[in-house]
Structure 1
Amino acid sequence: MARESFAIGTVRIRPGTIRNLELPITRLVTGADVSLPVRVVHGREDGPTIWVSAAIHGDEVVGVEVIRQVLATLDPKTFRGTLVAVPIVNVLGFMTGDRYLPDRRDLNRSFPGSARGSLAARIAHLFMVEVVAKCEVGLDLHTGSDRRSNLPQIRADLDDPLTRELAEAFAAPVMLHAKIRDGSLRHAARERGAKVLLYEAGEALRLDNYAIDAGVAGVRRVLAALGMTDPVDEPAPGPSVESRTSGWVRARSTGIFHLEVGLGQRVNEGERLGALLDSFGKTLRIVRASWTGIVVGRTEQPLVNSGDALVHIAEVNQD
């Protein structure tokens, strides 16, 4: 028996086809309509229904390119299941390169939203009703914020067996057991029963190739693990390093920060991470690791104030 068509918005998509559509969001003061762009790959054969989304923060562009490259590899005639791709969730922020919406709300603190709430609440509600409610698994793609860069990493509930299995399949360099924040897409989707992986990599407003390549490979490995595609023909990736605790080393003085460690570097407690200098080159303070672990994030801003986050270290089990 042939698969049923897939309903989303006001359209139905036949099995074995790809369809682009727009879900209406709002109208600008100019009278122009703003819509959420969606592409659905509705496979000819049965399988899971999952979503992959990016740019919930409008300045995070890496995930948009990841989704573009993944979609270019999919054939709906051999695809098993259904993929709902939403490359730009925060359309209004993306238009201006802004992390937030025009009302300064953080969309990723506005879920599950409300049909009659703020603009952020309405976008969140639309996404929950038209995307999350139809899916069993979600991949939410992010980058670092506030002039920070992130090592490719998966953040997820590693105590849930299926979520952990998918995180291991993604095979990012690090998988972090991350607390769920109220109002986030991950929290709201989990309350609806979906399994969610949050991918972090790269820097805002930059197409970092290392972040894109790891994201594309990871998403394709998850699709294969779910049986939606054939396994990717590539060398087997190394296992992800697991971490259950992480934190930022912060500046204890104001100055010009000379960073001396890279993403993915392992550091020991007390190890030198860099130095804070004044404008004449006088060393104001040596910055050292507060604990042993792996560098999963770092500031890209050399001008820092006392208290600013400098280096994000994830604690890992020592062999």
Structure 2
Amino acid sequence: MAKDMIILGERIGLGEAKTLNFSFAKLYTATKIEIPIVINRSEIDGPTVLLTAGVHGDEINGVEIVRQVIAKHINKPKTGTTICIPILNIFGFLNQDRVFPDGRDLNRVFPGTKTGSLASRIAYHFVKEILPHADYCLDFHTGGAQRFNAAQIRIAPGDEKLFKLAQVFNAPFTVYATNIGKSYRNTCKKMGKQVLLFEGGKSLESNKYIVKEGVDGVSRVLNHLGMLRDDYKVVPIDRTPVVISNSKWIRAQKSGLLHIKIDCNKHVVKGEFLATITDPYGTMRFKVLAPNDGYIININQAPIVNQGDAIFHISTESK
């Protein structure tokens, strides 16, 4: 018989559902900061899937994806366990900022330390108390600042199991991206957890199309693992994700006002007209052209750019 799951000192048995408060810090007003963790266990033992969002506090799409998973009861599994954390960086969420109050990026301090910075302490307790219970991790992000990401799953190259799981999630793009040291994804890998990182949209924006891609992807993964309830039907989709193994940034050659002429997700050919950069006085108009054939998977939607700013992320090799 399966053992009870003990998280943050609370015992959760098969068939039980609990919302726990992950609380290890306070505001400088002495107000306790609590991060709700929504746990649902089936009466039938099975895998544990951990869904996280808000690692960066201004990335709202991920928060909405996990919220909808909970609101639609997708997180109530037929077998196994789901653990949902809609907002991990509650400090950044309150401030509508990417980072913690001390300027630390939570996704660059894993696995954390018990006596380190505020972000490092949150990472430490998360890794010690919650992550060990997970078999699969789905982590939801958006593009930073005003850079809009096409809906995509990022995985480390050379991991066949992760590649197959990414195909199950079935975002429009599967992008090979090397794990960054001290990132959540890198810690998952070291602990033997299968992790998919979803990127879609931009910060401080809720995009219903991106959110739907995320919610549908979660449903497909849970269905693949035998965890999705029979009364929730996965919407069939007839596509094979485009696999991007190499990509590069197209950078602004001039400073000025940026006028985008194409949509994200688009396949372009070498020399295709992507944007113009103009000065405010009507004397300069610079055309931005595609340097190669490829898919545009990120667009900088900022109205003003400086020379050298990243404005398009384009694949250089895809399948």
TM-score bracket relative to the smaller structure: over 0.9
Q: How many corresponding residue pairs? A: 317
Cα shift at 1:90:
0.5
* Aligned equivalents of 1:228, 1:44: Cα separation in 2: 12
* Aligned equivalents of 1:157, 1:26: Cα separation in 2: 33
When structure 1 is superposed on structure 2, of 232-241 and 205-214 the one drifting more is 232-241
**Alignment match, 1:226:** 225
Cα shift at 1:230:
4.9
**1:43, 1:76 within 8 Å by CA — same for their partners in 2?**
no
**Alignment match, 2:296:** 295
Cα shift at 1:41:
1.1
**Alignment match, 1:211:** 210
SS at match of 1:216: helix
Q: Which amino acid aligns with 2:314?
A: I
Cα shift at 1:77:
7.2
Cα shift at 1:112:
0.5
**2:35, 2:90 within 8 Å by CA — same for their partners in 1?**
yes
Q: Alignment RMSD, CA only?
A: 1.6
SS at match of 1:282: coil
Q: Which amino acid aligns with 2:282?
A: G
Cα shift at 1:314:
2.0
* Aligned equivalents of 1:97, 1:198: Cα separation in 2: 21
SS at match of 1:128: helix
When structure 1 is superposed on structure 2, of 258-267 and 272-281 the one drifting more is 272-281
**2:114, 2:125 within 8 Å by CA — same for their partners in 1?**
yes
Superimposed CA distance per residue, residues 137-173 of structure 1 (whole angstroms, 9 cap, x where no aligned partner): 1001000111111110000125212211110001000
**Alignment match, 2:56:** 57
SS at match of 1:165: helix
* Aligned equivalents of 2:286, 2:272: Cα separation in 1: 14
1:149 to 1:75, Cα distance in 2 relative to 1, 3 A: closer
Alignment of 1:6-45 (within 5 A): 6-45=5-44
Overall identity of the aligned pairs, in %: 37
* Aligned equivalents of 1:191, 1:305: Cα separation in 2: 39
Cα shift at 1:76:
7.5
SS at match of 1:47: coil
* Aligned equivalents of 1:261, 1:78: Cα separation in 2: 41
* Aligned equivalents of 1:17, 1:118: Cα separation in 2: 35
* Aligned equivalents of 1:59, 1:171: Cα separation in 2: 25
The answer on 1:243 being equivalent to 2:244 is yes
The answer on 1:281 being equivalent to 2:267 is no
* Aligned equivalents of 2:74, 2:56: Cα separation in 1: 29
Superimposed CA distance per residue, residues 41-82 of structure 1 (whole angstroms, 9 cap, x where no aligned partner): 111111111211001000001111111111233378752111
**Alignment match, 1:102:** 101
Unpaired runs of 5+ in structure 1?
Answer: none
When structure 1 is superposed on structure 2, of 42-51 and 73-82 the one drifting more is 73-82
* Aligned equivalents of 2:98, 2:107: Cα separation in 1: 10
* Aligned equivalents of 2:76, 2:183: Cα separation in 1: 34
* Aligned equivalents of 1:26, 1:46: Cα separation in 2: 33
Cα shift at 1:136:
1.4
**TM-score scaled by structure 2?**
0.95
Alignment of 1:245-284 (within 5 A): 245-284=246-285
Alignment of 1:186-205 (within 5 A): 186-205=185-204
